[in-house]
Amino acid sequence: MQNLMFVGRLTKEPNLTYSNGIAKCTFPVAVESRVGSQKRIDYLPVVLWRQAAENAAQYLVKGQRVGINGRIKTGSYEINGGPKVPSFEVEALDVQYYDAPKRN
């Protein structure tokens, strides 16, 4: 069984959509890692479903720090009939809200 855990910051506002009455929320998370003095930032696409999706859309904002526990879902897509391009997303099973949302 695969399990992926990371902490990062949302780089965009959450996007909530509905398909056949099921809520889906997507957002990218920037995750920083270091190897020696080299800093690297990866941008991981995260997806949540149902009530967790609605909660994330209501309470998460761009820049907020979150912890994600989930699994990797892979797939592929074609661009204009060309070769298939591999893709992935992190299907979150649990989200921890570390920072309070910033208010204006």
The pLDDT of residue 102:
56
Give the per-residue pLDDT at 92. Answer: 95
| Whether the Cβ atoms of residue 31 and residue 44 lie closer than 8 Å to each other | yes
Domains of the chain with bracketed CATH: 4-97 (2.40.50.140)
pLDDT at 104: 46
Please give the chain's pLDDT, 104 residues, in tens.
688 999 999 999 999 999 999 999 999 999 999 888 899 999 999 999 999 999 999 999 999 999 999 999 988 888 888 888 888 999 999 999 987 765 54
Of 35, 59, 32, 64, the C-alpha closest to 48 is 59
Q: Which distant-in-sequence residues (6+ apart) come within 8 Å of 93 by Cβ?
A: 69, 70, 71
pLDDT at residue 101, rounded to an integer = 60
